Amino acid sequence: MRQAGHYGLWERARFTGAEIALAALSAGVSAAGAIAQGNAAKSAANYNAAVARQNADVARANAAADADKQERQGRLLAGRQRAAVGASGVTPEGSPLEVMADSALESELDALTTRYRGELQARSYGQDATLQGMRGDAAQTAGYIGAGTSLLTGLSKVSSPSAPAVETLSDKDLLERMHTAAGYEGLWG
């Protein structure tokens, strides 16, 4: 006799071993996919961050080169101005001196402005690189969370009371179905 609350050996289990294995495999594959997706997003973000850092370096280098060119042009202009003043026979005092000083100041200001703009652009790229790194970290974390969610969801499908109901058979009904399936009919009739 069966005791109350005790299930007999012939009652069908909620899931078979194959169903449990498939649920575990499905959860594992989903988890692995979530991790792979997170890692891929992190790799892409790391690549974008590296490109942004390279762009920052290029922006600084370009600004320095442009500023150097402006400084050279300023020196050439100052040389031409001195030559023109000397050829005219005017002494480089007063107005000619002020013009040359203003030209030199403008040239230096242009070079400094160019360097500053390059630094601003480089900082923008640097900030983008930092943001890309943060996005990559967040994507990887989301992948791990997704993997955990997949595993927990898969496990809950196996053990959840809200899982689809499975027919429970009495010992007699189970034996009768087994005999019927084997071709022995009418044993319980």
Give residue-wise pLDDT tens across range 2-40. Answer: 444 444 443 444 556 777 777 788 888 888 998 999 999
Name the more confident of 146 and 24.
Answer: 146
Task: Report the range out of 51-55, 88-92, 166-170 with the highest average pLDDT.
Answer: 51-55
The type of residue at 46 is: N
pTM above 0.75, yes or no: no
Q: Backbone phi, then psi, for 91, in 5-degree steps?
A: -75, 145
Long-range pairs, 145-152, Cβ under 8 A, ≥24: 145/34, 146/31, 146/34, 146/35, 146/37, 146/38, 147/30, 147/31, 147/32, 147/34, 147/35, 147/38, 148/31, 149/34, 150/27, 150/30, 150/31, 150/33, 150/34, 151/27, 151/28, 151/30, 151/31
pLDDT in tens, 81-126: 888 888 888 776 778 888 888 989 999 999 999 999 999 999 999 9
Q: Residue 111: name the closest of 57, 74, 139 by CA.
A: 74
Angle at 96 between CA 93 and CA 101, to 5 degrees: 95
Q: How far apart are CA 189 and CA 85, in angstroms?
A: 129
> 13 φ, ψ to 5°?
-70, 160
Q: What is the CA radius of gyration of the chain?
A: 40
